[in-house]
Structure 1
Amino acid sequence: MSLNSHVEELKRKHQTLSDRVETLQRTPSASDAEIADLKKQKLKIKEQISRFETTSA
């Protein structure tokens, strides 16, 4: 897998997590812990994307 395709895959995962967080935040019965966990996952992915984009620049 090339670096660009890996970064694109990470971006897709990040967007999927973003969509899930938005959905859960609109759901009254959503768990705050689950939302927090998803946000942590998003942050880790964003940091990976940033590292890869900085490396390839």
Structure 2
Amino acid sequence: MSLSSHVEELKKKHQSLSNQVEEAQRAPGSSDLEIAELKKQKLRLKEEITRLSVNA
């Protein structure tokens, strides 16, 4: 897998997590802990994308 395709895959996962966070925030039964965990995952992906993009 090339670096650019790996970065694109990470971006897709990041967008998917963004959608999940939005849905969880709108859902009345979602816990703050669940939302916080999704946001942490999203941040880790964003950091990885940035790291790979800068080093490319």
Give the TM bin, normalised by the shorter chain.
Answer: over 0.9
Structure 2 match to 1:13: 13
Aligned residues: 56
- Give % identity: 62
Give the corresponding residue for 2:28.
28
Structure 1 vs Structure 2 CA RMSD: 0.4
Q: Distance in 2 between matches of 1:30 and 1:50?
A: 29
CA distance in 1, matches of 2:42, 2:29: 21
Compute the TM-score of the two structures, normalised by the length of structure 1.
0.96
Provide structure 1 residue ranges, at least 5 long, that are not aligned to the other structure.
none
Give me the whole-angstrom Cα distance separating, in 2, the residues matched to 1:9 and 1:31. Answer: 28
